[in-house]
Amino acid sequence: MIKESNNLNSKKKIYFISDIHLGAPALNDNHERELLFVKWLDEIKSDASQLYLLGDIFDYWFEYKKVVPRGFTRTLGKIAELSDSGVDIHYFTGNHDVWVFDYLPQELGVTLHRDELKTEILGKKFFLAHGDGLDKEDKNYILLKKLFVNKFLQWCFARLHPNFSVSLAQRWSKKSRLGKGIDPKKIDIKNEGMYKFAQSILEQEFFDYFVFGHRHVLAKSQLGERSEFILLGEWITAFSYGVFDGSNFELKNYKVEQLPEAAK
């Protein structure tokens, strides 16, 4: 079922971003990247009607009943500011922040999505998702994701003291592809599992745009005769994002030289 985005100002823009990985232990510039991300959020505030955060905004996030992760104060405050100003914000859980529960929706006013979203934006049909688990050949990860979303296992993990569980998660993260480095040049987009998934969806239902994160690759490719397949890249080296104005979907890089003075 297609959900239509209501009350959109056609003169304003729709922004898409993913894979910020705030707080990633494999990276040594987390503070600088957060300042840059907050600066970008502040700049889009004037012309954004919607903002889609397509997963892995945080490298690790787990909400205990009375505790949320330390840090990210500037990011959370800026997202709340945009939400309070009327920007419609959608947050998709990724494989790194799958354990977002009710804190962000209640405190920041964002709409939380755990699965893919079919929606209409300014007259165009969008299929949106973080992208993890869509590659049916990645059976090991699909099994792992089932463990991550298991309610009983989440309850067990919540029994661990945060000092231990956060350290455990950070050690795990260092072993991920983020810690090992990423070489997007070795990726053939049309052989990607997510591209094949989008093709299979298109055989059943038409969408103008398929937009995903997860792969840390910045790409825009034709899909069929009238559809486009889009990967949003990451906020680690490319500092990339997408913007839709009702007619065109553009992929852009936010210039690193725009780092706040405090971060230089």
For 94, counting Cβ atoms within 10 Å of its Cβ (0-12 exposed, 13-18 middle, 19+ buried), the class is buried
Q: Which residue has the higher pLDDT, 11 or 125?
A: 125
Residue 114: how many CA atoms within 13 Å on its side-chain side?
10
pTM of the model: 0.86
pLDDT, tens digit, 9 for 90 and up, residues 59-95:
988 888 888 888 899 999 999 999 999 999 999 998 8
Supply the pLDDT for residue 173. 62
Q: Is pLDDT of 151 > 90?
A: no
Supply the pLDDT for residue 11. 62
Average pLDDT, stretch 6-29?
83
How do the domains of the chain map onto residue ranges?
11-263
Supply the pLDDT for residue 95. 87
Phi, psi angles (nearest 5°) of residue 254: -85, 125
Q: Where do we find the tokens 């964002």?
A: 110
Q: Is pLDDT of 129 > 80?
A: yes
CATH architecture, domain defined by 11-263: 4-Layer Sandwich (3.60)
Q: In which band, very low, low, confident or very high, does the pLDDT at 186 lie, cut at 50, 70 and 90?
A: low
